Amino acid sequence: MAHPSSHTPVDLSALIKSYDVRGIVPEPFSPEVARAIGAAFATVVVIPDSGDAGDSTPSDLSKAGGRPRAVVGHDMRDSGPELVAAFVEGLTSAGIDVLNIGLCSTDGLYHASGVFDIPGAMFTASHNPAEYNGIKLCRAGARPVGQDTGLSRIKELAEQYLTVGLPGAATQLGQVSERSTLGEYAKFLRGLVDISGIRPLKVVVDAGNGMGGYTVPAVLGSGAGLPALPLDIVPLYFELDGTFPNHEANPLDPKNLVDLQKAVVEHGADLGLAFDGDADRCFVVDENGHPVSPSAITALVGLREVARERSEGREPTIIHNLITSRAVPDFMEAAGAKTVRTRVGHSFIKAHMAEENAVFGGEHSAHYYFRDFFFADTGMLAALHVLAALGEQEHPLSAIAEMYEPYVASGEINSTIADVPAARARVVAAYVEEQGGGEVEVDELDGLTVSHWNSQPQWWFNLRASNTEPLLRLNVEAADEDMMVKVRDDVLKLIRSEDA
């Protein structure tokens, strides 16, 4: 039944971004909007993925009477259940059967989409404040849905449905079933990295009141009925609370690591793990409470996966985005792997992972992608690899991490700029035009990357504009601290100068 509408055109640009859906509840993200997005998702992704558009039909469809299926889950935010219910209405009205797995992490939703080979929708706003919610969408097998792979069309259809009303209901409405997949998810991950034989480790885990408090006891503990591991887990903020009463569930912000760093030292722990709100990202601190860069984790895990690939007679490929440390391709190529550099963003990484049949991929934002996990990102599997690498030998994590951090990075520095094109032009003039090429290499794969890495002194920087704010994001890396500081300060002066 079509919903009444004022026929006033609706614009969802502020809600549906390049990679996912994200906004404040209830405005602009209301149950009515969720229902329209559900109906659009059914049309653009679920029905074509079911085989009606020529694709092979997943075997699970026969169990649902031949109707297309989708899986839906949500994090701990209070607004989740109501939004999920509306989204499910949009799906079932289009004749889609829905498997509702309830509370889950984002990688838990990807696991269900991968195992059942059906499209999925995860309701989460990750590390955003409590008033936000969102949706991460995927195709069957956890394949990404981004701006160029269906999300822009979903936006157009949802806007149409909100303007003129939803299409009429299908002749046969879809049915909803419920099932917890937490135990299956935990067993699946345990089967990928066996840490049952490592030396005993004490691990402090900061879940930030997010979904890590739900998944860590199942995967790293015995909460899902799996055998106990040689881990002494010290929990911080495991209570599920979408208001984030202790700190933001964003481990990339240093202030959100303070409690974890303190607890690691106080408990004499071997390491600390911090998860974001939907627990798809994992950040690591060493036994001294010092953060281990995501690039170092990418190198550590990547080398483990490269060694496994080569031992099985395969030529490994590793994916990394362009802000990742140059140490990553250095280590991977020295170990005999092919490396592929991509733009920033999970949809780009996942697409390249599948195209290249890459065994592993890493991002500076602490997203880690695995071929064994449907080419999707999972912070928990990365954590298992770190625990295995640490527990299989006697050295402390600080010594291991030091090997994988040979260069000095600035971290991402944001500058609010009134005239972004003019600021970028000043940088281009100083580093590209005035040098006339020379020993500097320039590319525009994602923003502006200027590299002096193949000559002495070694340095590079990337300058990217935000898609939604008047911001320029700067990342600098150099072979030593002095050069990193010089390049960083020189570029920031150009960016922030008011002189044309």
180 is catalytic: no
Residue in 93, 105, 126, 451 annotated catalytic: 126
**227: how many CB neighbours lie within 10 A of its CB?**
7
Strands (E), 199-355: 201-206, 231-236, 271-275, 282-285, 291-292, 317-321, 338-342
Residue pair 308/318 in contact (Cβ under 8 Å)? The answer is no
Kindly list the strands in the beta sheet with 69-74, ordered across the sheet, starting from the edge strand earlier in the chain.
21-24, 132-138, 120-123, 69-74, 97-103, 176-178
Distance CA 278, CA 274 (A): 12
Q: H-helix or E-strand containing 132?
A: strand 132-138
Distance CA 468, CA 264 (A): 37
**Start-to-end CA span in the chain (Å):** 58
Rounded to 10 deg, the angle between the 80-93 and 31-41 helix axes is 40
Residue pair 80/105 in contact (Cβ under 8 Å)? The answer is no
Nearest to 20 by CA among 125, 169, 129, 166: 125
Q: Is 397 helix (H, G, I), strand (E, B) or coil?
A: helix
Distance CA 41, CA 35 (A): 10
Residue pair 451/441 in contact (Cβ under 8 Å)? The answer is yes
Give the list of residues 6+ apart from residue 229 with CB closer than 8 angstroms, or none: 195, 196, 220, 221
CB environment 117-140: b (16+ within 10 A), e (fewer):
bbbbbbbbbbbbebbbbbbbbbbb
Say which DSSP state 63 is in.
G
Give the list of residues 6+ apart from residue 75 with CB closer than 8 angstroms, or none: 103, 104, 105, 106, 122, 123, 124, 210, 211, 242, 277, 278
Distance CA 92, CA 203 (A): 43
Residue pair 118/57 in contact (Cβ under 8 Å)? The answer is no
Distance of CA 237 to the CA centre of its chain: 21
Residues with a catalytic annotation lie at 126
